[in-house]
Amino acid sequence: MKRFATILIIMILSLTASVCSAQGLTVIVDKIKNVEDKLDQVDAKLNGEIEKLNGRLSNFKPTVSSGSTESLKALQSQVNALSNELESIKGLLATSQEQQQVAYADLYLQLGQLGREITDLQASNNEEPPQYAGRGMPHVFEQSEETSAWNNPGLEISGFFDFVSSYEEAAFKNGNYSLGQAELDIAKELSENISVEAAIAYNSEDGVFELGAAIVDIHLFGEESDNAPLWNINGGGLVLGQFDVPFGIDLNYYPSIDRKLISGPSVVGYTHDGWNDFGVQYYIDVNFANFVTYWVNGYESSYEITELSLATEFGLSVGDEVDDTPLDAFGFRLGVSPVSLFEVGGSFATGWNEEHKNEMSLFGIDGQFEWSNLHVRTEYIVHQKHKTLAKEQDKGFYAQALYSFGKPFATFRYGGTRFDGVSNWAESFTFGAGYVLTDGAEVRAEYLINDANIPDNLSLQMVVGF
């Protein structure tokens, strides 16, 4: 590399010879040649040192017996001396990073072999391994940031997964074993104001892994930003990418590692069904309130033609699927905490089609209370579909309480859903209990009592997070 640089410099100087005196140009070229000669001398000296050290290592053969402590110490002393010589060579290698990597790799491998021989001798003598001087062995060769594939400071990797065993009916027959959720998350702070996150999640319905989230979070102000706090703002910023849409409060418990019950509220499944979408959101959190608003694509939605009169009127057939997925959707949630232990919130979302007509609307109110080991939360959701052929409205609620006794915990949820055209509520009662085996590992049990038309269910779960 240095020879190429020298030739390049000489060519540039030659091209400028028309504006430089011949005497001055000769002096400059002579100085460049002198520098190149000195570099060659450094290389030659370096090669000599490496060959000398390699020769010593190749000729060195340990001759101690397993019971000779004195010989073992002598061998250790020689290894320490070799390690010290490597440190002295480090300065000579400063002019050639590539040679430094090659030399270190070769010499450290040989030193590592000597270190293993020492360990074997000590094992036979039942002695504690010595503390090596200088760098540790045998894992002493350190790659630079450019050559290490895993060297990424600040990268956080986490995840979770759970296994579920489910039994239906009172006799608890027809057992089913399955993987519930599995997710791998990565996150990194690119700067004080920008962070990125991504998640690969298992889709249990299709049996495949897919992208669950991929966002860029730009911290505009608050504790996570280098901008000055304003109006007691704890945090605020802009999020772009794929994310769980912040409607209501159940999204905080979508991951099985965070949901103490095995199943989710039925009203969530029958309305927005854990809305995940692509778009942008803006959030802000102050001491007494939090607010988030978003603009996204709108979740996929369709319905089946079941009435002959509608099918005839619009030239369709009974059983046809009509796609009413919105072209775009907009929404927000506002949460207010009059006291530190309690929060009440309201959510709204709407989506429209290509003709700018409203396709769907979501309304919700929620509340949560936490005191000591008790956590209570509730939510009410109304889902309206402004279908092209007919309107439909589903609504429901749930109330859930969790109490922790330390490692054991117990939880209960009562919920109800009323579908369009049905006067009665479909109620459910869910009883759950669990035990924290260790930080990041829990076993849980749940008994779900459904409406008369739906079988009861007993589920067991093992969930781990890392």
The H-assigned helical ranges of 65-126 are 69-92, 97-125
Is residue 386 predicted with pLDDT exceeding 90?
Answer: no
Q: How confident is the model at residue 340 (pLDDT cuts 50, 70, 90)?
A: confident
- Does some domain include residue 149? no
pLDDT recorded at residue 38: 58
Is there a domain that residue 389 lies in? yes
Query: Does one domain contain both 366 and 264?
Result: yes
Question: Which range has the worst mean pLDDT, 55-64, 254-263, 309-318, 393-402?
Answer: 55-64
Cβ 404 vs Cβ 397: under 8 Å:
no
pLDDT of residue 370 exceeding 90, the answer is: yes
One domain for residues 214 and 329: yes
| 141 belongs to a structural domain | no
pLDDT of residue 416: 94
> Is 130 inside any structural domain?
no
Domain endpoint, select from 79, 104, 125: 125
**Same domain for 298 and 242:** yes
Q: Is residue 443 part of a domain?
A: yes
Banded model confidence at residue 94, pLDDT cuts 50, 70, 90: low
Instruction: Kindly indicate the confidence band of residue 16, based on its pLDDT and cuts at 50, 70 and 90.
Output: very low
Residue 145 included in any domain:
no
Asked if 292 and 199 sit in the same domain, the reply is yes
Domain final residue, candidates 125, 142, 173: 125
Compute the distance between CA of residue 281 and CA of residue 265 in angstroms, rounded to an integer: 25
pLDDT for residue 320: 72
DSSP-assigned letter for residue 465: E
pLDDT digits (tens, 9 = 90+) for 421-432: 787 898 999 999
Q: Hey, what amino acid is at 400? A: Q
Q: Which of 336, 359, 335, 363 is nearest to 349 (CA)?
A: 363
The whole-number pLDDT of residue 156 equals 93
Domain count, the chain: 2
Q: What pLDDT is stored for residue 158 in this prediction?
A: 95
Same domain for 45 and 180? no
Which residues, other chains included, contact 336 with Cβ-Cβ below 8 Å and sequence gap of 6+? Answer: 288, 289, 343, 344, 345
Band the pLDDT of 452: cuts 50, 70, 90: confident
Residues 103 and 205 in one domain: no
Percent of the chain whose pLDDT exceeds 90: 41
449 shares a domain with 371: yes
Contact 169/456 with Cβ under 8 angstroms?
A: yes
The amino acid that residue 369 corresponds to is F
Give the pLDDT mean for 439-458. 90
CB neighbours of 318 closer than 8 A, spacing ≥ 6? 305, 306, 307, 308, 311
Structural domain including 57 reads 2-125
Contact by Cβ (8 Å): 385, 393: yes
- Record the tokens describing residue 290, joined without a space: 């939090």
Exposed/middle/buried for residue 325 (C-beta within 10 Å: 0-12, 13-18, 19+): middle
For the chain, what is the mean pLDDT?
A: 76
Asked if residue 338 and residue 398 are part of one domain, the reply reads yes
Two tokens, residue 272: 């927005």
Residues 9 and 2: beta-carbon distance below 8 Å = no
Would you say residue 153 lies in a domain?
no
Which has more confidence, 438 or 144?
438
Out of 65-69, 103-107, 202-206, 406-410, pick the least confident. Answer: 65-69
| Arithmetic mean of pLDDT, 6-26 | 42
Query: Does 188 share its domain with 309?
Result: yes
Residue 102 shares a structural domain with residue 248:
no
For 261, the token pair is 């019950």
Query: Which of these three, 83, 100, 125, is where a domain ends?
Result: 125
Answer yes or no: do 320 and 369 share one domain: yes
277 found inside a domain: yes
Q: What was the pLDDT predicted at 188?
A: 94
Spatial CB neighbours of 442, under 8 Å, sequence gap ≥ 6: 434, 435, 436, 462, 463, 464
Whether 104 and 167 map to the same domain: the answer is no
Please report the pLDDT score of residue 442 as a whole number.
97
Peptide bond into 138 cis (omega under 30): yes
Sign of CA dihedral 52, 55, 57, 59: negative
pLDDT of residue 211 exceeding 70: yes
pLDDT value of residue 139:
34
Segment 269-307, tens digit of pLDDT: 988 888 999 999 999 999 899 999 999 998 766 666 666
Asked if the model's pLDDT at residue 24 lies above 60, the reply is: no
CATH number of the domain that 221 lies in? 2.40.160.10
Q: What are phi and psi of 107, to 5 degrees?
A: -70, -40
